[in-house]
Structure 1
């Protein structure tokens, strides 16, 4: 099980960076499209569901890690202790909750973009929904310096 956890943790870490890069690219393109009044482009139409799919994969890996690493049990067995300790609370409650909320916002945003009939509205909606989701995501990552800090890059036992 440890090897499988290492695989899931490594994938979760690598995909984090893919999510962040895709999110930034999507938001920048959306802002430019909104401000420059671009026609909604085919690559933007394809980028939105791709971003959503990669984010969903990231959430799925996170859920697997939540249960295989024991965070679910920690939360159920000692909820008061979890809530008192910031590092425990971060992983047992805050991290996954905000990531799922961000995933829901990405799906709502994707639907809103698809539903809009005018290009400027598509870009505006994408900018708003995906920016909020990405900000939640950034707030939910265990960055170095936090009480629940994790390495910036971890890949099959190698830490950078």
Structure 2
């Protein structure tokens, strides 16, 4: 499951970049909100949701996280254990919530400019959190670039 989670990271990053680029082009070019713009946000949300499901499975089956949850006091003093039991999950939930909120607000907006602005704002902030999360894993977790 860890390998699947690592590979899915790229799907999240790529779909997120796609969604942000489409939103940026829409804002800067004042173009209509098209089906492709909608699909970019939808695929970003789906990739995040699949990644969340795999992450939840890992959270409850990982021996590392299991050991940390057994003694949370000690885990909070260890930066790697804290990363995998609290920090990573908190950032992931916040990022995925932003994607969902953004997708919902975009769907409800009536004008194309507003849709693109909402998508750009919510998806960009989510992507920043995701990039921070990936960077934390790369530096503290030392899991490699798979």
TM-score normalized with structure 2 length: 0.93
> Counterpart of 2:120?
127
How many residue pairs end up in the alignment?
145
More divergent stretch after superposition (109-118 vs 67-76): 67-76
Distance in 1 between residues matched to 2:109 and 2:64, nearest whole Å: 40
**Structure 1 unmatched ranges of 5 or more:** 1-7, 154-160
- Report the alpha carbon displacement of residue 21 of structure 1 after superposing the two structures with TM: 0.8
Contact 2:65 2:81 in 1 (8 A): no
> Counterpart of 2:40?
47
> Counterpart of 2:52?
59
TM-score normalized with structure 1 length: 0.85
Q: Check if 1:87 corresponds to 2:88.
A: no
Q: Check if 1:100 corresponds to 2:118.
A: no
**Structure 2 unmatched ranges of 5 or more:** none
Q: Which has the higher helix share?
A: 2
Call closer, same or farther: CA 1:143–1:77 in 2, change over 3 Å: closer
| RMSD (CA atoms) | 1.3
- Report the alpha carbon displacement of residue 66 of structure 1 after superposing the two structures with TM: 1.0
Q: Which runs of 4+ in 1 moved over 4 A?
A: none
2:141 aligns to what SS in structure 1?
A: coil
- Report the alpha carbon displacement of residue 131 of structure 1 after superposing the two structures with TM: 0.6
> Counterpart of 1:31?
24
- Report the alpha carbon displacement of residue 78 of structure 1 after superposing the two structures with TM: 1.1
Residues 67-95 of structure 1 show CA distances to partners (whole Å, capped at 9, x for unaligned) of 11135533432111111111110001111
